[in-house]
Each structure stands twice: as structure tokens, then as C-alpha cells.
Structure 1
Amino acid sequence: MLGTMQDGQLSIANLLRHGSRIHASAEVVTWTGTGSRRATFADLGHDAARLAHALRGLGVTGDQRVGTFMWNNYEHLVTYLAAPAMGAVLHTLNVRLFPEQLTYVVNHAQDHVVLVDGTLVPLLAKVLPTFTTVRHVVVVNGDPAALKAPDGVTVHSYDALLADQPDEFDWPDVDERSAAAMCYTSGTTGDPKGVVYTHRSIWLHSMQVCMTDSMALAQSDRALVIVPQFHAMSWGLPYAAVMVGASLVMPDRFLQPEPLAAMIAAEKPTMAGAVPTIWQGLLAYLQVNPQDLAPLRRAVVGGSACPPALMRAFDALGVTIIHAWGMTETSPLGSVARPPAGLDQEAEFGYRVLQGRFPAGVRARLVDDDGAELPWDNEAVGELEVAGPWVAAAYYRVGEGEEGAEKFHDGWLRTGDVGAITPDGFLRLTDRSKDIIKSGGEWISSVDLENAVMAHPAVAEAAVIGVPDEKWDERPLVAVVLADGASATPDELREFLRDKVAKWQLPENWTFVDEVPKTSVGKFDKKVLRAAAANGKLDISHLR
């Protein structure tokens, strides 16, 4: 075979070696609520070695799963690197899962060890007796005596485990196509599904995160990583930061607007990543408690569509919101909305509100209900399918014919997202396939309606679902959360929409709620809204 290049494994061990030596002085800052704990990437390398030795002592000798039930903090980052670098498999556990779902994912993944933050011990204690494969629990930043373990499970102190361990480790030469980490979907339908990332997929994804037309993470950045480390691997930001030497600011459990604002003021991040609901909450806080956000200049937003009004509000504060799209199954980066060059500001904004352009590592296509491929003309609407080296080809331990297997076919992932693609490769999502509203034979995008309603100054949040209608089959129902101290009536909001959506799309069903229910990762939980509407638990105004 013709070729003159050396071969080398794209392994997490090699990533760790690089980051801890080349970028030794980069920082990992963990917010404590009143101040910060600090460590360097050099410390990260030494502590990862200590943890690897400790895990060997707990019987992690191969690809055993090492679970983390933790907030975003330094110790979680240590585990992010140590577990896969030693040949084990990191398994991030969603701290907001329902207990029965947490039991399912731990047992399904066959976790051997679980690291848990001290503040989360009471949550874990409730379900620990239901774990069938866990043999060790390591309490981080807390008292191990506070956790009463069932028979067969030993509880350890993180600090005590690492105290006498060597700060160097003979990292094995791991095959880049072997498992490095796993994350389960949030399980909105059926049991959560496991996605297993390889060392190679993480490397390639991290390189994409750092590219200029992506998140553009650079050595000069201080990245505020609000998106949880259990949510699609924190969008790849921890691994990408180690790759380029960007310092990390970790919020731990302090995710409310006030401590986030204090953290931004104290630690001065240059970029951040979080779902839209985080930014909505921070904006409401800043409107009452103004502060200069500099040097924070860009924020990557994903998980759900970002309202254009929210993007404009942060523009006024000097922070550019960068729309991105992805899924647990895509590692998660699938597209990023960096506008084409040479446009004026308003034309740029027209691209920024889209879900973004596909990078070279992601192939995409739209298909109709019969599976026929649709054109990229920004008009044809179909289901998005994607493929690529950091896109899942299957779910973990889901065989052919089992629930979930139907999402993969002919080398493509069926995303369940519905939308169009522009001729120059920008994705414009209109809805999830399960959320789009079919009214009188025509489709209504719940996302478009939500964005239009949330542009009203009195509205903090708005979620739209379809409800049965005798004449039209389905009609939209808008659930509105009013901003603090604001007031609005359904008639006023409907009038506000009159020049923003087609007349036949104007909602006649409205309800005001204290809070839109959300999933464990901060997305609107529309199945809860649908159930509440179906069971008569919402006070609905019907306009005609």
C-alpha cells in the first residue's frame, strides 16, 4: 500500500499526555458558590494518574464501566481523562433522571464503580440497592460515612484513595476504535438508549470543536462549561479544551442565574456553552441586576432552538449567541450556525437563527415519508438523517428488531428532526417529528410559533403542543410563562402574532403556567404538557 506516514493511536491517553505537558499552566476552575478552587493541567495529569492507580486497585483492569454521578468540576474532569486513558469506559450518569431510569442505565451499562459528588449522595443512596453490578462507590468532596452501602458494595473516600498513589501511570496503548465513554439518551420514549463513543470519535469530534467555523475553542479561551458533563459529554468541550489548552471554568452545582452572574464577573470567561433556558434565566436576572459580561463574547447554544429574541437581547449585551445542533448520537456536534462571509448584519442574523452548516465530518440528507431523498432548496421539508465518524451506528445492546434499532439503516442515523436544508448546507429545523402539528392537512411548526410568542416582551417562556380539534384534527395550544411583573392576555398575544405567522396558524388555545416542564437536560418536556392538557389539568382559554 502506497504511503509514507507514521501510524499512531488517537487515544485519550495521548490526549492527556499532550494537554498535561504542552498546556501545563492552563487552569481548571471550580466554582464554590463564594469563590473558586483552582488546578492546572499539570495537576490534571498527575491526579488522573493517581485515580487510574486507585481504580486498578478497585478491580478496573479492562473495559469495565466507571460511572460518574457528578456536577461539572475538577474531579469529574480528572475522571473524564483517567478512566478511558487506562482502557476503562467512562459512563456519565444524568443526575436528573427518574430513579427507575437511573437504575436501568447503571445495570444496562454494567457499571463496576460509581464516583459521586458529596452533595449528590442522598440521591444516589435511594437507588444504590437496585444496582446489580456496582461493587464500589467513591465519594468525592464529601463524607463517605454518609452513604450506607448495601451488601457487596464498598464505599471509599476519593481523597483517601488518591492520597498515596503515584502521580505517574504507564498508560496502555489503547486501540483508537475501542470504547472510551458512553452516555445514555434522556429516554423521552421507552428506556434510555446507550451511545458508546470511541477514542477515535472523541479525537475527531474534539478537533471539529476547535475549528474556526465551529465553536472556535482556542488556547486563549476561558470556557465556561455550563452544559452538564452528563449531557452528551458536555458537547465535547472538556476534551477539546485539553487538546488546545483552553482553561475551563466549571460551575459545579451553582447553575442558577445569580451564582452564574457572580462566576462570570469573578472568572471572566471568554466563551460559554449552555441550553437556551440557562440564558433565558440569566437574561431575566441581568435585566434587574445589570453587569458588564466582558470578556464573555460568545455563547454556544444547543439542545433546543434558541428564540431569535433571546439572541438579539444578548447581542445588545455584547455576547454573540452561536446556534448549534446535535444529539447524544452525534457526539453531539452536528452543525454550527456560522454565517457565510461577506454579508451585512441583518443577512448574517438570518443565518444565525438556523441550526447551522454541516462540517466536513457530517454527511446529511433529508428524506420524505417514503424514504425518498429531498433536495437542498430550503423549501422541501423532511426528516434529517446523518452519518459520519462521530455519529453512532447503533445503540449499545440493542439488537435488530428491538425498540430503538429502527433509528439506524443503511449507514444513516434517523434523527427524528424535521426541517429543510439551504443550497449552501445550512440546516433549518422546523420541529421534532413527534412535535410537529398537523392542522387541516397542513404542517405547523411548534418551534416557529414558540419563537414568535417569545419575542413578546411580556413572555419569559412559551411552549407549543398540538391538541385534538374536531374540525382541523389538531390545533396549537400555547403554554406561556410571563416575565416577572409582566402581564398579557391571550387576545394581546394573538394580536402580536398576527403579522408574524400565517393567519391559519394563529393559535386560539392559550394557557398560562408558572413554569414550562423540562426534561433532565433542560429541554421543554412536551409529553408532560400533552398529558396535562389531555387530563384537564390546564386552564385553557379558547379564542374564536
Structure 2
Amino acid sequence: MMAYDLTLRAVLERAAKLFSKKEIITRDYSGTFRYTYSDFYKRTQRLANVLKNLGIKKGDRVATLAWNHHRHLELYLAVPVSGAVLHTLNLRLAPEQLIYIINHAADKVIFVDKDLVPLLESIQDQLPTLECVVVMSDTNEIPPSTLKNPLSYETLLTEASEYFEFPDLSEWDPAAMCYTTATTGKPKGVVYTHRALVLHSFAASLPDSLNLQESDVVMPFVPMFHANAWGLPFVCTWLGATQVFPGARPQAADVCQLIQDHKVTLAAGVPTIWMATYPLWESGEYDPSSLREIVNGGSAAPMSMIKNYQEKLSVSILHAYGMTETTPVVLVSRPKSNMGGMTAAEKYQLSARQGLLVPGLEMKVVGEDDEEIPWNGKTMGELLLRGPWIAKEYYKDPIRTQEAFSNGWLRTGDIVTVNSEGYVSVADRSKDLIKSGGEWISSLDLENTIMDHPAVLEAAVIAIPHPKWVERPLACVVLKQEYEGQVNVQDILDFLKGKTPKIWVPDRVEFIDAIPRTSVGKFYKAALRTRFTEIASTKEGSDPIVG
């Protein structure tokens, strides 16, 4: 066989040669922008020359502080094919976290969207490795700011040559990096090689995986600064699929409008956005009929949401699972061919699972003694992973590398069950699992059951101390606006009867205005634990409330 390096150059060139007329569309600052893969290729070559002219060398880190748009896509390819390393910055992080990761990565250049310039202004004096800032906009103009000698993205591209001489790269060369969103401690850096990104693109596009095709019109609502936007920009470019980007600060109505106007067939994002868009679809304001599937990740989708989309909109919700450390796609929940006889209820239960391991990876699930657990759908254990697109370490972080990587396996920290067919269901993060009277309680399962209540918008479950049972669950519930003041604690407890084991029923239900979230939209349970840390069971020494 040929010694052929798997690099992102092949992704870029295939799109230009085979799909030159296909389109990339952005909801831009001044309206809809659209161009072809041929145009994209020419601009990407110009951008690679811009990087060269700025003094960027092989291995240098080039950061982006940007929303989802075509300019960000140009950076996704131009930076790694020029030999540099793309570092996507999470624009929702606190300033001190941004300062840490920019300095830890030693970023030399930052490409920043014009509306995010104030964020960069506030921290620029604390970034010693930063040599240059390029402002991205749909014009040549740079907004007034205190940035030191900012450059215009569009002006630089206009002045650069359209021909770029690609360097020879190894598939083991770093192509991109991303930092985990930490709720405690400092963020952890993960570096992706060209090889990892190409192999991940193969796996993600498979029919039993995300099932992406050239004929698809794909909208990644998942941020491009988070886990490579689940790999979709690379996969879609390689396949020649039409890409639709929601641009700066998109709202639920913007998402619906884009899907309707551009006949999007597949969209991807966390449950928050799909819960926010559902009322707009249901009201008939927008037409979702082009959608064949929504990829849901980041956290589990409530069963009620899956049912509503399928039964009322004829849109399938596809559960997928991954992490920053896994590039990220690891599990996808599609039924096997021998499952055709399932009832509707069984199909929904399967859809709510995170799914089957994608080809190319290995997994094992171990208990507290590090022995593998039985696949019976009940026994809980920690999910361990290994494979060609699983990280082997954290960037310049030996202590936490030692904690998370063991004997060639990544310890995910996710507590799961696996049924006899091999479908994985995430019960909890290890830090969020509740152990009451020696029994494990899955906060995720309990949350999803509570969210099936027609009056509940969101629910988060945390552990509170108990003098006899060690821990008991407390449910934080956000009601839909039209039900506020009409639903009480007993209504929630009554709803749970017969739907969960008795020991899982919360000792306490707190109605709150909103559930705090992390920078990528996940429930921020650490904040809830801090808020309710002094709350303990009022029934000291007694049995848990069981309805």
C-alpha cells in the first residue's frame, strides 16, 4: 500500500475539484452571503498566504474568537493546511479563562469577529504571546477600538495571492486544538492531528453514524468554537454538502428562518435550541418539512422533546455522544435492522439512549473495582474509550493527563449502562451521580422524567447531604410560563409515581426562574450545588419521601 498521509489538504482540494458549484451560505452582518466551494477554495488559498505574510510558521497557534460563518470555515482549513494549528476560543468563557487558554496555548494571532472586539479589548494587555489581531467583518472597515494595530480580514485577503504552495505535512502533525469547558479548575487543552480529523470525518459520515451525504444541506448550530462543531465543517466540506451558518448571535427565530429558507436537511445542536425552536415550529410560523433529522448532543434530550418532534413535526431526533477529548463523535443512537418489531414506546426509549459505538473505536465500562460490568442495561460503570481520534493526553498538563488517561484508555468520567444490544445510556457524570443508601440514582434519568411533565420547561437534579442516607436528590424545576403558579411540589411528586424507583423520588423540589448553564449550554450543576448547599433533609434519620 502507498504511504499516503491523511491530511486536511485532501478535504479542501476534493471540495474544490468535485463540488465547485455547491454553495456555502451565511447569515451575515448585512444580510445573506452565499458563494461556491470554488470561491471558498480561492479565498482559503489567499488566507493561507495571509498567514505566511504575518509570519506564521509550522506549529504556530492561530486563534479564532468567532461565531459560525464562512470566514470561520475558511480558517478551519487554511490554518491547518498551511502547517499551523487552529485554536478555537470559546467566546462564552469568563475573561480569566480566556486569558489562561490563550497564554497556555501561546497564540500568536487572533482572528476576531467585529462584534466580539470589546471582549478581546478587555484582555489584550494580559496576552504576552499575541502579536497580531485580525478583525473579521463583511466589509473592509474596522470598528473603532483600543486594539493595537488591528488588521482587516477582507483587506488582507484582497491583497494576498490566490495561489498558495501547500507545504508537505505529516498526518501526525497537529492541525487544531480546543480547550474543555471547565466548571472547576482550569480548562484542559486537547490537540487534534490531521490524521485524527480525517479518520473522524470518515466515521462521522457513515450511514449508521451521522449519515451525511453530498445532497444534504447542513446547519451546524453547535458552535464552531466547541469540539470542532462536532466535526461537521470538515465532513461537509469533504463530501461537498451545502453548508448553512447561522452567523452572529442567532436566536430561535433565526434558526427556524434559515432552515425554512434554505431547505436545511440536517441541523445539529444542544437540546436548548431545539426546545426553544419547537414552539415556533408548532405554531406554524415556520416550515420544518425539509428537515430529515436533528442531531442532538451535549446533553440528553428529554423524551417529551423527542416525541413532539417526531409525532407533531415528523422530524427525527438523533442522539449522539462525544467529548472534546474524542474529536468528538463516539456514540450514535440508530436502531439495528433486527429491531423492526419494536413498539413506538420502545423506539423512543432507544432514541433517548446515547447509542452504539461508531466503527473504529473501542470501549469498555468498568465498575468501582475497575472490572468490566455486565451489559444488562442496569449495572452502572465508567465509560472508557480508545481509538485513532481519541486524545492520549492534555496539552502541557501532565498531572491531569495522569488522572484521565490510564493504560492507553481515556477515562471519560461518564457513568453509563449498556444493554444487551450494546446501546450505551449515560446515567450521569461521575461527579453528578447520587448515591443514596448504597443505591445509585441517575440525575439525568430523573431530570428527563420530570421534564416529561407537560408544565415543566427544564429540570436539574443535584445531590444534597442527608444524615442517614448520605445523599438525597433535590430537583430544581423551571415551569413553562403559562403554568407558573398553577403547579406545586406535590404535583411533581405525584407525576413521578410509578415512573421512577421510589428511592429516586426527590426529597425536595425547588421552583426556580432559570437553570444556570455552562458556556456551551449544559446545565451548570456546580452553581446549583453552591446555591442549595445548606439545604438538608427535614426528615432527619427517616426514610426518603417515596410518595
TM-score by length of 2: 0.94
- Secondary structure in 2 matching 1:456: coil
Q: Which residue in the other structure is 2:150 paired with?
A: 155
Match of 1:416 among 413, 420, 439: 413
Q: Matched residues in 2 for 1:514 and 1:199: separation?
A: 44
Q: Matched residues in 2 for 1:186 and 1:215: separation?
A: 24
Number of corresponding residues: 530
Alignment of structure 1 residues 429-448 onto 2, 5 Å: 429-448=426-445
Which range moves more in the overlay, 72-81 or 375-384?
375-384
Match of 1:478 among 475, 480, 489: 475
Q: Which residue in the other structure is 1:539 paired with?
A: none
Q: Deviation of residue 472 (structure 1)? A: 1.6
> Is contact 2:280-2:286 (8 Å) kept?
no
Alignment of structure 1 residues 223-302 onto 2, 5 Å: 223-288=218-283, 290-302=285-297
1:163-222: CA deviation from partner (whole Å, max 9, x where unpaired): 121212111121001100000000122110000000000000011111000110100000
Q: Deviation of residue 483 (structure 1)? A: 1.1
Q: Which residue in the other structure is 1:454 paired with?
A: 451
1:91-137: CA deviation from partner (whole Å, max 9, x where unpaired): 00000001110000000001010000001111111111111111000
Match of 1:170 among 152, 155, 165: 165
- Secondary structure in 1 matching 2:260: helix
1:318-343: CA deviation from partner (whole Å, max 9, x where unpaired): 11000011100000001000111142
- Secondary structure in 1 matching 2:337: coil
Which range moves more in the overlay, 337-346 or 477-486?
337-346
Match of 1:14 among 3, 10, 17: 10
1:208-259: CA deviation from partner (whole Å, max 9, x where unpaired): 1110001101000000110000110000000000111111110012432111
Q: Matched residues in 1 for 2:467 and 2:35: separation?
A: 62
> Is contact 1:11-1:203 (8 Å) kept?
yes
CA RMSD after TM alignment: 1.6
Q: Deviation of residue 484 (structure 1)? A: 2.3
Match of 2:191 among 189, 193, 196: 196
Match status 1:53 vs 2:52? no
Match status 1:370 vs 2:369? yes
Unaligned 5+ residue runs, structure 2?
Answer: 536-543
Match of 1:183 among 147, 154, 178: 178
Q: From the superposition, tell whether residues 28 and 187 of structure 1 become closer, same or farther in structure 2 (CA, over 3 Å).
A: same
1:298-331: CA deviation from partner (whole Å, max 9, x where unpaired): 0110111111111001102111000011100000
Q: Deviation of residue 287 (structure 1)? A: 3.8
> Is contact 1:110-1:134 (8 Å) kept?
yes
Q: Which residue in the other structure is 2:539 paired with?
A: none
Q: Which residue in the other structure is 2:70 paired with?
A: 74
Q: Matched residues in 2 for 1:345 and 1:226: separation?
A: 32
> Is contact 2:257-2:286 (8 Å) kept?
no
Q: Deviation of residue 284 (structure 1)? A: 3.1
Q: From the superposition, tell whether residues 287 and 514 of structure 1 become closer, same or farther in structure 2 (CA, over 3 Å).
A: farther
> Is contact 1:149-1:155 (8 Å) kept?
yes
- Secondary structure in 2 matching 1:452: helix
Q: Matched residues in 2 for 1:284 and 1:26: separation?
A: 32
Q: Deviation of residue 460 (structure 1)? A: 0.7
Q: Which residue in the other structure is 1:216 paired with?
A: 211
Which range moves more in the overlay, 221-230 or 19-28?
19-28
> Is contact 1:47-1:167 (8 Å) kept?
yes
Q: Deviation of residue 32 (structure 1)? A: 3.4
> Is contact 1:478-1:509 (8 Å) kept?
yes
TM-score by length of 1: 0.95
Unaligned 5+ residue runs, structure 1?
Answer: 537-541
Q: Which residue in the other structure is 1:518 paired with?
A: 517
Match status 1:405 vs 2:405? no
- Secondary structure in 2 matching 1:104: helix
Q: Matched residues in 2 for 1:51 and 1:33: separation?
A: 21
> Is contact 1:121-1:146 (8 Å) kept?
no
Letter paired with 1:519:
T
Q: Deviation of residue 377 (structure 1)? A: 2.7
Q: From the superposition, tell whether residues 345 and 50 of structure 1 become closer, same or farther in structure 2 (CA, over 3 Å).
A: farther
Match status 1:467 vs 2:464? yes
Q: Deviation of residue 345 (structure 1)? A: 4.7
> Is contact 1:418-1:433 (8 Å) kept?
yes
